Amino acid sequence: MNRLDVMMLGDIILDVPDPDHWIGGVAAVTREADLAIGHLEVPHTRRGEELSGDVPAPGADPAHLAAIARANVRLLSTAGNHIADCGAIGIADTIAELDRLGIAHAGADRNRATAEAPAIVICDGRRIALLSYNCVGPEIAWAGDDRAGCAFVRVATADGSPTRPQADLTEADPASVARMQAAIAAARRDADIVLVALHKGITHRPAALAPYERPLARAAIDAGADAVIGHHAHIARGIEFHRGRPIFHGLGNGVVVTHALSPAQDHPARAEWAERRQRMFGFEPDPAYPLAPFHPEAVNGLIARLRIGDDGRIEAGFRPMWSAPPGRPEPATGPRAEAVARYIDAIGIAAGLPELAYTWADDWVVLTDDGSG
């Protein structure tokens, strides 16, 4: 049987020099894929005006996108809470460079219709579609009929305030979910494999899933998605199956190396946020990780994999990863790989997901659907 190996990374931020070094540990794995997918977290531009309404990320050097291409990542989701941080110009510059490099992308564009359109990559004769949605706001980053931004699913806040990343997000708006499902169903008619990327969840907190996450991910599967890929939390989340299809609730950091999260910087809003998030989420970053000052448990990572047979059957699994100081992700091996796999299982159970059933094949965890979903 001819199988496609599709690998999926979490958030990617490369805004420090020597991007090929920082992505190099991941690239050792993704270069083996028939198709590798990641989530581009920030705009890549030297222009634009800083967006107000959230703590803005700086634009990364557009030249760093070539390192993503050299790592064999050919498809990116872009609907997230920072992609509009340099305004419409930042989105346009990012898209222009991705197009020049031949990296397909979905989720952010010049208006809502184009942002919601799936990216389609043909791999070994099969059409693989990716749709990408931001579920966490801020609303100013969302695309409109005549406004650049990202595709979104509106999620209500507990106090009725606008959707924003640090709000208490509770339930996805039914009309917004229906719009997402219609787009998935349309992509299903035009593609052999449909993947849905959801920028969702609670940042920097181990294990926790917000109330809307499981119902929204399952709604995507119900509409025809073959797998759901979660990211945004900057820490890994658990995995479950629904109707035989995998839901990776959060892939954590794919490759995130940045000075923007350090308190020692000259941007007041980012410096204040670096201090405040530690108090909000109750963690102290390990000083050995100045380029990735996240929750200490965020060193546990994964690259998801779908092995897709000619008959459409999907075998889901993941490669355990870990971040080496000062923040470079690398494949985990031996006892460390086993510890990461146990961690992924444990955080899923703590969040109310079924216990994982899995075996090992070389350095990969192979998941088995026990039918509970």
Instruction: Write the CATH number for 23.
Output: 3.60.21.10
Distance CA 5, CA 11 (A): 20
Low-confidence ranges of the chain (pLDDT < 70): 1, 51-54, 262-265, 273, 373
Number of compact structural domains in the chain: 1
Tens of pLDDT, residue by residue over 100-109, are: 999 999 999 9
The residue type of 111 is N
Q: Flag whether 276 is in a domain.
A: yes
pLDDT at position 208 is 96
Q: Flag whether 355 is in a domain.
A: yes
pLDDT at position 73 is 98
Select from 231, 180, 206 the least CA-distant residue to 295: 206
pLDDT at position 52 is 67
Q: Flag whether 120 is in a domain.
A: yes
Domain extent for 212: 4-368
Distance CA 284, CA 185 (A): 44
pLDDT at position 1 is 58
pLDDT at position 2 is 81
pLDDT at position 292 is 93
Residue by residue, DSSP assigns 129-183 as EEEEEE-S--GGGB-BTTB-EE-B--EEETTSPPP-TTS-EEEE-HHHHHHHHHH
pLDDT at position 53 is 61
Q: Flag whether 169 is in a domain.
A: yes
Q: Flag whether 287 is in a domain.
A: yes
Cα angle 267, 57, 216 (rounded to 5 degrees) comes to 140
Q: Flag whether 373 is in a domain.
A: no
Q: Flag whether 315 is in a domain.
A: yes
Select from 208, 264, 196 the least CA-distant residue to 234: 208
Q: Flag whether 329 is in a domain.
A: yes
Tens of pLDDT, residue by residue over 49-94, are: 776 666 778 899 999 999 999 999 999 999 999 999 999 999 999 9
pLDDT at position 268 is 80
Select from 60, 54, 7 the least CA-distant residue to 33: 7
pTM to 2 decimals?
0.96
